[in-house]
Structure 1
């Protein structure tokens, strides 16, 4: 059996093919896993656990099915769904994890997992915005507003964010290698898995003849799903992409 890792599914009502593909993945693949780790941005936007539409309930039912099959599901919040809270997580039978987590494989190896936005330390303006949005007092005030007001604020902010994102794409920002190495050394690990950048790849980082690290970047779900697997018997790691309409 394998441990599965996904991120950046970006579920929303305007993309029914991705919703259908994700549900197929849950029912046909994740059911056979040792565990499923969702590393953020499962949803395109999350304005509070009280916003339960048909899609949210359908996804919750799909995730509940894993629990019924005794497949644990863990969730790390991303930059799109950082307001997802314990009420919805409990509804899905998901276990919420902190922004970064260290997993210990049966072999004893440590694996660091996180969404990935905190690795983009050169984007100073984003990191300041992230710290602001993650202020507990601010979140409490925002979540106390009527849902209609939260939606209005989100729509106003989205216009700015779209322009900002286009600008940042031109800046061609990347995750710094030293940031990854420092995090791995700090956590006594040689493997890091994250999403966020939408640039799926397995990076082998050779420090010296005897020291090497591995960074697995998960892909965004669009026409294809993206999942990393770790075989619990031999720690073999694979990054798999599959068409969502042919599961």
Structure 2
């Protein structure tokens, strides 16, 4: 049994090297897996399921081909693609999961998530997240003409990029107490997430129990994949061609 996890690809027409690496991964590696979990930020920004740009169509076709081949694909929204919804899933065969989802891997309960909600020291971001995740606001935004949405998103991205340059790196990482609280709440000893772009396997003790937090990497300079195979988790890199 092979299960694959990816996140933080930030796919965009401006980075064809990342797109090529992703498509090669889908055609040569993911196609042989039983399941593929995408833990958010697949896209640099997903403006809405009605955006059928040639680039988006290519990505959707890649998922459709994979699910039609029999690979089960699951998606958790990230902070860049929280508008990805039911229409995308219907067109691709991908199943949308809740922000916090507990899955069973080899008889072990494992919590998977994007990871942004663990960064509670970044108060400004959490306030922004709470605002844009309001259903009524998303309903209104999705009914604005596409070209206007593109302008709004470009303006928001520019502001976020500017603010990020002045943030301390520690603020943008997870808060350990929140990690422990969420894992305890969900009743798990293993957590897999992305968002922070800091691939690693962290082990720690909580209430005399060993717990593990696996962090997925981003795809800015190479592909980053977590593979579960032969009862073992392995973080792997995939070079750009």
TM > 0.5 = yes
Q: 1:216-227 alignment to 2 at 5 Å?
A: 216-227=214-225
Which blocks of at least 5 consecutive residues in structure 2 are unaligned?
Answer: none
SS in 1 for 2:204: strand
- Aligned counterparts, 1:1-247, within 5 A: 1-106=1-106, 108-169=107-168, 172-207=171-206, 211-231=209-229, 233-234=230-231, 236-245=232-241
Per the TM alignment, residue 151 of structure 1 is displaced from its structure 2 partner at its CA by 1.1
Displacement of 1:170: 5.6
TM-score by length of 1: 0.93
Q: CA deviation at 1:172?
A: 4.6
TM-score computed with the length of structure 2 as normaliser: 0.96
Unmatched segments (≥5 aa) in structure 1: none
Deviation for aligned residue 1:223: 2.5
Partner SS state of residue 111, structure 2: strand
- How many Å apart are 1:127 and its aligned residue? 0.7
| 1:168 CA drift (Å) | 1.6
Superposition deviation, residue 206 in structure 1: 2.7
Q: How far off its partner does 1:156 sit?
A: 1.8
Question: Within 1, Cα distance between the matches of 2:139 and 2:41?
Answer: 21
Q: CA deviation at 1:215?
A: 0.5
